[in-house]
């Protein structure tokens, strides 16, 4: 009943359209109701009005849910007088004094409302926003949840909301203190402490509300298990979200209510998902499971649930901290999200920081002050922005006070000086930093720095954006972005009915927007002024109303939204996997099939998916074989199609089967498959027809096709001829055939991409297989390529091991389906070219049939218009995908960079690693479209041009020689390393397939991995000290110095570790100390070290422990585990190690010093 | 005043150039749409490229000529006509474009069908800009030649 009242108020206030931040995309229903009164009632009906409720059960459409939320906001409004917002001005009884009288005559409920304004319970808003992931929920809590929800079961599904009782609920809560008290969530208790919660209060609140999603790796440990359970239970789609309910936990009627800052009923936010769940959950059991699986864990007690029967499934699931004091809550959360068992990865800890701190420490000073001056009108959100934004903040009185807190707007001059220190490369030899380079930080205010996107996800080659294209041209540096959008990380997941976006450019709201006042925000990309929707006014983190700038979307530059049906073209697809296996004689010889089947059997339970997951198998030699795995068959049925000119699908619904239902048959097939073809004499390979069959099989759903191929396709469509001339492998002239021989694979890939099918290619070939043509199938369907040259299960155990590890990661890694990624940038900037595996569907839109956490993208940018009128340039990458659980999600990353007008600033902000990687991508494009030598020249010219540009820009330079700014001092070295890569080298014998594969890697590997491939890290291991060591958990991880990649640094009496990204080499000198060999390798002497050693034994000596700790630490930072080789000084494997010493002269390439001389000469020309 | 072969050529060229102007405009619009995101590049390239439709079982390749190829053929056609009519100046004026067409077609990226545009690279800003520029230049060229042919036709008619 109270609900109607609130809604009215809202309408009168004029918030009207705000609730539809999405603009066009927003569900129409949202707009409607809010703007006009009559429509508004429906929402009320939702909550309170009995008449309407009937409608709801049927309403599973997410789009409609928003309405309900809006009502919530109202409730929270009531508290404003207490809350630190400007709205507080209103007298308690009529907090909405400002509310125009136009408010429709309050229905009965309204009256009620007015009578008891104070008691208006702050609904426990909890986690609803944060769809907080189940991941965090500790097992104990999980147990509770089912219980909680049991209550709802009694009033199944929909009835819960609509029911009059529900509305009554609110009313009653106010009047009856007792129930309210019980209902209140723990976090609320915290608040009840009274006056607007200072930081401490907020902190916990956030914690409780905001749970971290643990993706990928992070999931390991117990947490993962629990999450799996959730998914399984909740799975039938949306249901899981009910948890929102957060609960209608009301707060105690005690006087403290007034003091409380917020609360809106979490249950309202039940959102579409919540509703769907309700309707779906007709049975008690279903209802119970729903909540348990619910992603949200909000804070409320079990009691709540019992009390709020009406709230039912919606009501919030209990959260981690329900009854515990806040501090504990925090701890437990943190503990939950970072289980001890998790490997001490540097990566993870870094990432964890920002979010865990989130609540307070992370908060910009401006915000912290805000609460202190509640009466001062809108707290400082304006200030949030850097100086550039200040003009907008002028109107606000608090500006002057807060400006002091901004500090550091001008950046850190000393750092800049250091970055620009001229370095004469011809004289200074020791350029390597002691530890691997970190990404430079953009020179923006410290507040913005804190919220800026992690460089591991989003990196720009120039961390200071030149104002104009002319300035960029002067700097002679490539401008571009390096993106790793889907990497495994923990990020806040937000569930909100309205995803707030700019109306004109569709940018998602992000930390770099400016709030002009409480009601409007200015887009940081197109500068349009947008309305803040009502729902957004309520902050689930602090549970306060009127602080949109504190919402998680505005506090995190990396967030994930649970998308509504507006973001779906069709119902989210299930996870569908098809394995296409080569079973020709060649494949049987190589022996990969056994390994593959074993791996798949081991990981069958870990394949991402839910109960809808489907799998299929298809094998081929000169014919194509299908497998009928329909549940109920006694054994798998093989169907052979020999008409490869016109492949057809023999049976339509039995070839792709539900993994859960047909698990036994799948297992049986995998067990018998290796033996089935062991006698095969068929040498031909009909890959093309098999792919066509796969396409036909997958077209209706989309999904992932994994192709395993061991030789050149020789039959049917897409057959290829050998194009490699072994005599030309080391030719210094050009390299031919880097492009595809036929466009069959490209066209097929485009068709696949159109049907949301991603194709991953595993090439396990001992001979030339024309990867240049085959790779197209993965390249344009957003797949990935794996290549194992000279693969043989007996003769090449190292490759076998690598294959096994890669497969394990491949099968179990996260996957996103039917994805698109759009990259938006500040007006004036535009995207020039994309690099990576995808199909470019529009100037800024990539179509990714599949997206995996290991592929990265590069983007070249150009500056169309001057950026002079803004001080910040922003980039936003939004990845919309369907998770393996069938949820539509949007992951948004936003990067903010300062705009500079001075050339020296541009140089100071250069990111040498990013520049090198982008350059590598450009060079590879060039080598395919023009020629390899062209590409090599272009790369060298890039170094020459840059050095010349720097010299001419610094007029007062006294030094002669090759001078570059310190920040770019490694650039020539990296360029040289690039020229010596397999992809671009000439003169050294390189097989065409390996070269093409190296090119593919350059296009898709994330930056850290690419840099390790390009310029491996070399460490000396035999004399590691604990100086500067990291202490992770209880392990000490030594941090040895980086060494130059030159034979000079190797010494006979040492042991050196080279980290090449996908492989580690441990080089043992002839005179290496006995202790090291004995303690680490477990061999008595140098001579007895086996030449093919590929692991380090687990010895209990301190030295061994340290070496292993270091290796493990290195390993934890990468997705695919690397292989390990011990290389003895006199072994034949030495060449593989030595080729990575890029500073040395080789028979066909110059040394670093010679290269510098060459560059120097070119400059003076 | 006589209706010579040359006059006929000019009249034909006049009509065909009008068609070419239409093609050029269509081309410009198509790329503009692409740039402003109205069309999927696969669709776009399919309409810009002549498509090959394979009729099942019948090994007959039917080339549905769509746009680019007809343009080239038309232009080639009246160049030959001018050659026959011994209109050397006119032929000379058209030779650069003819050469360009030949070059363009021989260096096309797509291999299995007679198209010029590759959907996977067309969104590259350089290529897109190039194609747009190409469209405008051709439009200008065809417009000028339209009036030139008109003049040529009248001149031939009057002078003979």
Tens-place pLDDT, residues A895-938: 999 999 988 889 988 999 999 999 999 999 999 888 888 999 99
Q: Are A145 and A242 in contact (CB under 8 A)?
A: no
Pairing status of strand A1055-1059 against strand A1035-1037: unpaired
Give the span between the Cα atoms of B28 and B26, in whole angstroms.
5
The residue among A333 and A268 whose pLDDT is bigger is A268
Alpha carbon of A495 to those of A44, A272, A539, A592, A890: distances in Å? 21, 10, 12, 44, 11
How many C-beta neighbours within 10 Å does residue A989 have? Answer: 11
Q: What percent of chain A has pLDDT over 90?
A: 26
Chain B residue with minimal CA distance to A776?
Answer: B120
Give the span between the Cα atoms of A429 and A434, in whole angstroms.
14
> Number of residue pairs across A and B with CB atoms under 8 Å?
43
Q: What is the rounded average pLDDT of the residues B109-134? A: 78
Determine the pLDDT at residue B4.
82
Minimal CA separation from A775 to chain B, in Å: 14
Pairing status of strand A212-213 against strand A857-863: unpaired
Q: Are A974 and A912 in contact (CB under 8 A)?
A: yes
Give the span between the Cα atoms of A442 and A537, in whole angstroms.
30
pLDDT-based confidence at residue A688 (cuts at 50, 70, 90): very high
The phi and psi torsions of A200 (rounded to 5 degrees) equal -55, -45
Which of the residues B33, B34, B116, B125 would you substitute to probe the A interface, choosing the one with the greatest number of A C-beta atoms within 10 Å? B125
Minimal CA separation from A743 to chain B, in Å: 6
Residue that has been written with the tokens 């005559």 in this structure? A105
The residue among A461 and A1029 whose pLDDT is bigger is A461
Give the span between the Cα atoms of A730 and A724, in whole angstroms.
12
- Is the Cα dihedral A1000, A1003, A1007, A1011 positive or negative? positive
Q: Does the beta-carbon distance from B112 to A742 stay under 8 Å? A: yes
Domain residues of chain B, as ranges? 8-49+64-159
Determine the pLDDT at residue A12.
35
Q: What is the rounded average pLDDT of the residues A1140-1158? A: 88
pLDDT-based confidence at residue B38 (cuts at 50, 70, 90): low
Tens-place pLDDT, residues A1019-1065: 988 887 777 777 877 778 888 888 888 888 888 888 899 998 888 99
Determine the pLDDT at residue B144.
95
Determine the pLDDT at residue A634.
87
Tens-place pLDDT, residues A594-651: 999 999 999 999 999 999 999 999 999 999 999 998 888 888 889 999 888 888 888 8
The token duo for A706 is 């994994």
pLDDT of A506 > 60? The answer is yes
What DSSP string runs through A165-207? HHHHHHHHHHH-HHHHHHHS-HHHHHHHT-SS--HHHHHHHHH
Q: Are A193 and A78 in contact (CB under 8 A)?
A: no
Q: Are A1108 and A1124 in contact (CB under 8 A)?
A: no
Give the span between the Cα atoms of A287 and A149, in whole angstroms.
6
Asked if A744 has any chain B CB less than 8 Å from its own CB, the reply is yes
Determine the pLDDT at residue A760.
95
3-state helix, strand, coil in chain A (%, to 5): 45, 15, 40
Tens-place pLDDT, residues A868-881: 888 899 999 999 99
Span of A305-309, A565-569, A940-944, B42-46 with lowest mean pLDDT: A305-309
pLDDT of A722 > 50? The answer is yes
Q: Report chain B's C-alpha Rg in angstroms.
A: 18
Determine the pLDDT at residue B111.
64
Q: Which of A744, A842, A862 sits opposite B125 (nearest CB)?
A: A862
pLDDT of A576 > 80? The answer is yes
What one-character DSSP code corresponds to residue A551? Answer: S
Q: Does the beta-carbon distance from A832 to B119 stay under 8 Å? A: no
Q: Are A590 and A687 in contact (CB under 8 A)?
A: no
CB contacts of B37 in chain A (<8 Å) are 842-843, 845
Determine the pLDDT at residue A268.
38
3-class state of residue A481 by DSSP: strand
Helices and strands in chain B, H and E counts = 5, 2
Q: Which residues lie closer than 8 Å to A273 by C-beta, 6 or more apart?
A: A62, A65, A238, A239, A240, A241, A242, A244, A495, A562
**Torsional class of A23: left (φ above 0), alpha (ψ -120 to 50), beta (otherwise):** left
The residue among A1023 and A198 whose pLDDT is bigger is A1023
Asked if A750 has any chain B CB less than 8 Å from its own CB, the reply is yes
Q: Are A267 and A278 in contact (CB under 8 A)?
A: no
Chain B residue with minimal CA distance to A754?
Answer: B42
CB contacts of B128 in chain A (<8 Å) are 843
The token duo for A170 is 């609110």
Determine the pLDDT at residue A1127.
87
Give the span between the Cα atoms of A761 and A751, in whole angstroms.
16
Give A301-331 as a 3 state SS string: CHHHHHHCCCCHHHECCCCCCCCCCHHHHHH
Q: What is the rounded average pLDDT of the residues A964-979? A: 91
Instruction: Name every residue in B having a CB less than 8 A away from some CB of A.
Output: 35, 37, 40-42, 56, 110-112, 119-120, 123-126, 128
pLDDT of A800 > 80? The answer is yes
b/e code A254-284 from CB counts within 10 Å (16+ = b): bebbbbbbbbbbbbbbbbbbbbbbbbbbeee
pLDDT of A166 > 60? The answer is no
Q: Which residues lie closer than 8 Å to A519 by C-beta, 6 or more apart?
A: A15, A18, A531, A532
The residue among A152 and A602 whose pLDDT is bigger is A602
User: How high is the mean pLDDT of chain A?
Assistant: 69
Residue that has been written with the tokens 């619910």 in this structure? A294
How many C-beta neighbours within 10 Å does residue A671 have? Answer: 12
How many C-beta neighbours within 10 Å does residue A792 have? Answer: 16
The token duo for A765 is 């070939």
Sequence length of chain B is 160
Determine the pLDDT at residue B42.
63
3-class state of residue A679 by DSSP: coil
pLDDT-based confidence at residue A323 (cuts at 50, 70, 90): very low
pLDDT of A371 > 80? The answer is no
Q: Does the beta-carbon distance from A831 to B125 stay under 8 Å? A: yes
- Is the Cα dihedral A714, A719, A725, A726 positive or negative? negative
The token duo for A1016 is 């491996």
pLDDT of A449 > 80? The answer is yes
Q: Are A266 and A248 in contact (CB under 8 A)?
A: yes
Tens-place pLDDT, residues A832-868: 999 999 988 888 889 999 999 999 999 999 999 998 8
**Torsional class of B70: left (φ above 0), alpha (ψ -120 to 50), beta (otherwise):** alpha
Give the span between the Cα atoms of A962 and A252, in whole angstroms.
73
Nearest residue to A567 via CA among A497, A504, A503: A497
Nearest residue to A939 via CA among A952, A955, A922: A922
Give the span between the Cα atoms of A915 and A973, in whole angstroms.
13
Q: Does the beta-carbon distance from B123 to A843 stay under 8 Å? A: yes
Choose from A339-348, A382-391, A431-440, A675-684 the range with maximum mean pLDDT.
Answer: A675-684
Task: Identify the burial level of B138 via C-beta atoms within 10 angstroms of its C-beta, where 0-12 means exposed, 13-18 middle and 19 or more buried.
Answer: buried
pLDDT-based confidence at residue B36 (cuts at 50, 70, 90): confident
Sequence length of chain A is 1165
Give the span between the Cα atoms of A1026 and A1039, in whole angstroms.
7
CB contacts of A750 in chain B (<8 Å) are 42, 119-120
Asked if A282 has any chain B CB less than 8 Å from its own CB, the reply is no
Chain B residue with minimal CA distance to A839?
Answer: B120
Task: Identify the burial level of A1001 via C-beta atoms within 10 angstroms of its C-beta, where 0-12 means exposed, 13-18 middle and 19 or more buried.
Answer: buried
Q: Are A1165 and A1003 in contact (CB under 8 A)?
A: no
pLDDT of A815 > 90? The answer is yes
Asked if A832 has any chain B CB less than 8 Å from its own CB, the reply is yes
Determine the pLDDT at residue B63.
29
Give A403-429 as a 3 state SS string: HHHHCCCCCCHHHHHHHHCEEECCCCC
CA angle A79, A81, A87 (to 5 degrees): 105
Tens-place pLDDT, residues A24-80: 333 333 333 333 333 333 333 333 333 333 333 333 333 333 333 333 333 333 333
């Amino acid at each position: 009943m109270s609900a109607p009242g609130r809604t009215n108020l809202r309408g009168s206030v004029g918030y009207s359209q705000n609730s539809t931040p999405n603009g066009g995309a927003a569900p129409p229903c949202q707009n409607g109701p809010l703007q006009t009164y009559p429509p508004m009632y429906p929402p009320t009906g939702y909550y309170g009005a009995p008449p309407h409720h009937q409608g709801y059960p049927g309403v599973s459409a997410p789009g409609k849910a928003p309405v309900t939320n809006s009502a919530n906001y109202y409730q929270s409004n009531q508290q404003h007088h207490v809350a630190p917002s400007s709205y507080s001005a209103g007298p308690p009884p009529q907090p909405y004094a400002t509310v125009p009288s136009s408010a429709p005559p309050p229905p009965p409920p309204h009256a009620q409302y007015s009578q008891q304004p104070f008691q208006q319970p702050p609904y426990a808003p909890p986690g609803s926003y944060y769809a907080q992931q189940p991941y965090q929920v500790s097992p104990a809590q999980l147990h509770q949840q089912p219980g909680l929800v049991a209550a709802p079961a009694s009033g199944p599904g929909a009835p819960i909301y609509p029911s009059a009782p529900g509305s009554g609920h609110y009313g009653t809560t106010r009047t009856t203190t007792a129930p309210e008290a019980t209902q209140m969530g723990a976090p609320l208790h915290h608040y009840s402490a009274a006056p607007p919660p200072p930081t401490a209060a907020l902190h916990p609140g956030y914690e409780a509300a905001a749970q971290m999603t643990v993706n990928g790796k992070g999931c390991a440990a117990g947490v993962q298990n629990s999450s799996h359970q959730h998914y399984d239970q909740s799975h039938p789609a949306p249901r899981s979200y009910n948890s929102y309910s957060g609960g209608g936990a009301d707060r105690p009627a005690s006087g403290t209510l007034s003091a409380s800052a917020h609360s809106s009923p979490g249950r309202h936010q039940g959102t579409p998902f919540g509703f769907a769940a309700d309707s779906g959950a007709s049975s008690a059991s279903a209802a119970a499971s729903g909540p348990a699986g619910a992603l949200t864990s909000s804070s409320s007690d079990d009691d709540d649930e019992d009390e709020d029967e009406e709230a039912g499934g919606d009501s919030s699931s209990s959260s981690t901290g329900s009854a515990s004091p806040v501090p504990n809550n925090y701890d437990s959360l943190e503990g939950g999200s970072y289980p001890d068992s998790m490997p001490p990865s540097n990566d993870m800890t870094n990432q964890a920081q920002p979010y865990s701190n989130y609540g307070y420490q992370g908060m910009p000073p401006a915000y912290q002050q805000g609460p202190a001056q509640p009466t001062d009108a809108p707290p400082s959100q304006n200030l949030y922005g850097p100086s550039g934004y200040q003009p907008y903040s002028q109107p606000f009185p608090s500006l002057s006070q807060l400006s002091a807190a901004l500090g550091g707007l001008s950046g850190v001059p000393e750092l800049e000086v250091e970055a620009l220190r001229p370095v004469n490369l011809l004289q200074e030899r020791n350029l390597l930093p002691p530890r691997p380079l970190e990404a430079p930080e953009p020179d923006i205010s410290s507040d913005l720095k804190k919220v800026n996107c992690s460089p591991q996800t989003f990196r720009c080659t120039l961390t200071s954006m030149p104002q104009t294209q002319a300035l960029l041209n002067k700097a002679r540096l490539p401008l571009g972005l390096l993106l790793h959008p889907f990497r495994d990380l923990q990020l806040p997941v937000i569930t909100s009915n309205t995803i707030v976006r700019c109306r004109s450019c569709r940018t998602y709201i992000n930390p770099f927007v400016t709030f002009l006042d409480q009601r409007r925000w200015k887009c940081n990309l197109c500068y349009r002024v947008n309305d803040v929707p009502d729902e957004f006014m309520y902050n689930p983190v602090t549970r306060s109303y009127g602080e949109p700038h504190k919402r998680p979307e505005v506090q995190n530059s990396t967030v994930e939204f649970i998308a509504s049906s507006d973001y779906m073209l069709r119902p989210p697809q299930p996870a569908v996997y098809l394995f296409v296996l080569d079973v020709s004689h060649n494949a049987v010889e190589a022996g990969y099939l056994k390994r593959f089947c074993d791996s798949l059997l081991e990981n069958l339970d870990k394949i991402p998916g839910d109960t809808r997951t489907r799998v299929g198998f298809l094998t081929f030699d000169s014919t194509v074989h299908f497998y009928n795995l329909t549940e109920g068959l006694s054994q798998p049925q093989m169907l052979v199609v020999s008409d490869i000119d016109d492949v057809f699908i023999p049976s339509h619904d039995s070839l792709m089967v539900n993994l859960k239902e047909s698990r036994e048959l799948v297992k049986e097939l995998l067990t018998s498959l290796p033996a089935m073809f062991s006698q095969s004499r068929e040498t031909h390979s009909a890959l093309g027809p098999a792919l066509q069959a796969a396409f036909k099989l997958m077209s209706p759903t989309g999904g992932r096709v994994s192709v395993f191929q061991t030789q050149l396709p020789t039959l049917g469509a897409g057959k290829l001829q050998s194009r490699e001339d072994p005599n030309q492998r080391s030719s210094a002239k050009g390299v031919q055939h880097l492009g595809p021989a036929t466009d069959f694979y490209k066209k097929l890939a485009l068709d696949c991409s159109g049907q949301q099918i991603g194709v991953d290619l595993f090439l396990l070939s001992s001979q030339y297989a024309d990867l240049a043509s085959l790779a197209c199938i993965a390249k344009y369907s957003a797949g990935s390529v794996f290549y194992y040259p000279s693969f043989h299960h007996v003769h090449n155990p190292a490759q076998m091991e690598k294959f096994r590890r890669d497969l394990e990661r491949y099968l179990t890694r996260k996957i996103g389906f039917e994805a698109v990624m759009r990259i938006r940038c500040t007006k004036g900037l535009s995207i020039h070219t994309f690099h990576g595996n995808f199909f470019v569907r529009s100037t800024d839109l990539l179509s990714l049939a599949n997206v995996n956490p290991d592929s990265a993208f590069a983007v070249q940018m150009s500056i169309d218009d001057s950026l002079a009128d803004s001080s910040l340039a922003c980039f936003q990458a939004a990845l919309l995908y369907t998770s393996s659980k069938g949820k539509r999600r949007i992951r948004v990353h936003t990067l903010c960079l300062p705009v500079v007008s001075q050339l020296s600033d541009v140089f100071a902000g250069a990111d040498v690693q990013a520049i090198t990687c982008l350059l590598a991508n450009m060079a590879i494009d060039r080598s395919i479209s023009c020629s390899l030598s062209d590409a090599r020249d272009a790369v060298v010219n890039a170094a020459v041009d840059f050095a010349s540009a720097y010299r001419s820009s610094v007029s007062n330079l006294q030094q002669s020689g090759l001078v570059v700014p310190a920040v770019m001092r490694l650039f020539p070295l990296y360029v040289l390393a690039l020229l010596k890569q397999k992809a671009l080298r000439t003169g050294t014998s390189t097989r065409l397939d390996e070269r093409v594969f190296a090119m593919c890697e350059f296009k898709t590997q994330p930056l850290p991995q690419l840099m390790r491939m390009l310029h491996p890290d070399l460490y000396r291991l035999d004399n590691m000290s604990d100086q500067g060591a990291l202490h992770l958990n209880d392990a000490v991880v030594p941090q040895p110095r980086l060494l130059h990649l030159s034979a000079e640094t190797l010494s006979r009496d040492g042991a050196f570790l080279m980290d090449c990204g996908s492989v580690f080499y441990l080089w043992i000198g002839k005179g290496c100390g006995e202790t090291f060999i004995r303690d680490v390798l477990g061999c008595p002497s140098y001579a007895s070290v086996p030449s093919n050693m590929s692991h380090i034994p687990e010895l209990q000596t301190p030295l061994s422990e340290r070496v292993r700790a270091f290796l493990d630490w290195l390993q934890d930072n990468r997705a695919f585990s690397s292989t390990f080789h011990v290389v003895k000084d006199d072994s034949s494997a030495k060449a593989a190690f030595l080729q990575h010493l890029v500073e040395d002269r080789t028979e066909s390439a110059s040394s670093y010093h010679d290269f510098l001389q060459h560059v120097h000469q070119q400059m003076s020309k | 005043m006589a209706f010579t072969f040359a006059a006929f050529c000019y009249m034909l060229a006049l009509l065909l150039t009008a068609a070419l102007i239409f093609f050029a405009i269509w081309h410009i619009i198509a790329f503009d749409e692409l740039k402003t995101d109205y069309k999927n590049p696969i669709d776009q390239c399919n309409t810009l490229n002549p498509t090959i439709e394979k009729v099942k079982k019948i090994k007959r390749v039917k080339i549905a000529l769509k746009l680019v190829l007809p343009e080239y053929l038309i232009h080639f056609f009246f160049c030959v006509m001018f050659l026959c009519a011994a209109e050397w100046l006119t032929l000379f004026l058209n030779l650069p474009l003819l050469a360009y067409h030949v070059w363009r077609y021989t260096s096309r990226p797509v291999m299995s069908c007679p198209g010029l545009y590759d959907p996977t690279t067309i969104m590259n800003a350089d290529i897109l800009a190039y194609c747009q520029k190409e469209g405008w230049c051709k439009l200008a060229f065809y417009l000028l030649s339209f009036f030139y042919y008109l003049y040529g036709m009248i001149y031939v008619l009057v002078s003979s």
